[in-house]
Amino acid sequence: MAETEADFADLGVAGPIVASLAAAGITHPFPIQALTLPVALSGADIIGQAKTGTGKTLGFGIPLLQRVVGKTEDSSVTSNPEATPDSVIDSTEQRLPQALVVVPTRELAKQVAADLVTASVQRDIDIMTIYGGMDFDPQINRLKAGVDVVVGTPGRLLDLYGRKILKLHRVRTVVLDEADEMLDLGFLPDVEKIINAVPAHRQTMLFSATMPGAVITLARRYMNQPTHIRAQDHEDLSLTGKNTTQFVYRAHSMDKSELVARMLQAEGRGRTIIFTRTKRTADKLAAELEDRGFAVKALHGDLGQSQREKALKSFRDGKVDVLVATDVAARGIDIDDVTHVVNYQCPEDEKTYVHRIGRTGRAGHSGVAVTLVDWDDMPRWRLINKALGLDFDEPAETYSTSPHFFSDLGIPKGTKGRLPRQHPDGEDQGGAEKTSHGSERRRSSGRSRSSERSTDRRGGSSDRRSGSSDSGDGERKPRRQRSRRRTRGGRPVNRGQGGQSGRGGHSTTEASED
């Protein structure tokens, strides 16, 4: 989505925030920000709706920060026209949260907090993230030390509020980000408890890409005459974004991994997110793609927090360029240069589809979204297609060898589902052969040494029997002569006459008995 001509200062944003954004290279607002900021800066409640990746975070983050008083600031720094006695913070008292942002996932909490920090680097504001999967003690200690803004997930926020560690009676701004996702995840009771814990005199902002009826009901119950703002590009009337090229194929489940492996070799393919419905499928697909030679990580709810953070960091840093994720990651990955999104399995509904493909085509970049639909999922897909007004009611039957699949996605002809083996610098295929031959030589040498040892044992025994000293070891002692006595049936056998075995030995014994 294109930036607007007006800058942030023209919209009434305070100087320190404008300077902080300019230091990060952000000088002009996106449409949702240009529409939201004049209303939100006045203190009015807002329902903001825009496609994923269009800048909703700063749409509520800038008004939120402008109403917060930092620990070394006074209320004149803010532009709050409704300053109350609570807005003047006594420096001798414990600093309590003045703003609260509630988000559905840990990843989104970290992303929102990072954007708020970017917009407030030239102000003295403490911003904290609170989410599950981490130890309580560091979060408790941080809250006791004093914070100004809290960004967190509903479950852990309620846990700390129930312990009387998180105190919300001074919160003057509440933001519900991705509210529809919180409803879908069953967080509605928790969200209502959190809203009831903050003062009634507050500013409430609700932002999301989609607005189902339950969200509107929540807004009517807890918001004061909210202004509904919907940012829409006049050239883009779709719900999925004009910057994202969409492809939908009807694919067989046993051919999907091969389809994906060939798709990952398309020209211009950069960072790619593959969405699956289940954690098991995510792990299985990630392992298979890794075996095929791709740099890939899995991301889902069964991973510990540290593992999830490592996977996301590897993806952001470019150590891996393929992320296989469940929908837990759909709301928290804010990376502008994701070029491809793949729905390995059909999404549950149109909202999930919008949020999934919203990971690409962000902030003005172009992207590609590919959806693979099983035969069994066709009824579900038709509902999604109808709800979003798409043109894929009957996706083409597609296999990993289909010509239209290669041409649609720009896959070079002859591409197979396995990357060629990468060899270290200075080694080509011949080097690999040398290594192979070297291995053969080592194996052959091992067999030779084993054979030599075996021969030495056999030959040495023969030499000793023959009394030979050809080995050159002059100090070897001569073999001791042993007298052996042969018996048969407990009776001695004449060695000279019993040179024969079997019947000869028996007849020799009979002769000696005579």
In 3D space, the residue among 154, 173, 147, 171 whose CA is nearest the CA of residue 106 turns out to be: 154
**305 and 216, same structural domain?**
no
Indicate the residue among 206, 230, 254 that finishes a domain: 230
**262 and 220, same structural domain?**
no
Please say whether the beta carbons of 61 and 36 come within 8 A: no
Task: Say whether pLDDT at 509 is over 60.
Answer: no
State the DSSP code for 204.
Answer: E
- Identify whether 62 is part of a domain: yes
Chain centroid to Cα 440, Å, comes to 42
208's tokens: 């999301």
Average pLDDT over residues 415-420: 89
Q: How many domains does the chain have?
A: 2
Residue whose entry in the numeric block shows the structure tokens 């014994």 = 509
310's tokens: 């490592």
Average pLDDT over residues 80-90: 42
- Identify whether 504 is part of a domain: no
Indicate the residue among 409, 441, 467 that finishes a domain: 409
Looking at residue 355, its pLDDT comes to 81
**199 and 344, same structural domain?**
no
Q: What is the CATH number of the domain that holds 26?
A: 3.40.50.300
Looking at residue 243, its pLDDT comes to 78
Give the tens place of pLDDT for each residue, 444-487: 444 444 444 444 444 444 444 444 444 444 456 666 666 667 77
Give the tens place of pLDDT for each residue, 212-227: 778 888 888 899 989 9
Give the tens place of pLDDT for each residue, 349-379: 888 888 888 888 776 678 899 999 999 999 9
- Please tell me whether the overall predicted TM-score, pTM, comes out greater than 0.85 for this model: no
Average pLDDT over residues 268-295: 93
**151 and 124, same structural domain?**
yes
Domain membership of residue 129 as a residue range: 9-230
- DSSP assignments along 362-429, one per residue: -TT--EEEEEEE-GGGHHHHHHHHHHHT-S-SSPEE--TT-HHHHHHHTPPTT--SSPPPP--TT--H
Please say whether the beta carbons of 246 and 367 come within 8 A: no
First to last CA, the chain: 120
Helix 15-23 / helix 56-67 crossing angle, nearest 10 deg: 140
In DSSP terms, which residues pair with 504 in a beta bridge? none
Distance (Å, rounded) from C-alpha 113 to C-alpha 214? 27
Host H or E run for residue 299: strand 296-299
Number of alpha carbons in the 13 Å side-chain half-sphere of residue 71:
15
**14 and 161, same structural domain?**
yes
Distance (Å, rounded) from C-alpha 419 to C-alpha 223? 54
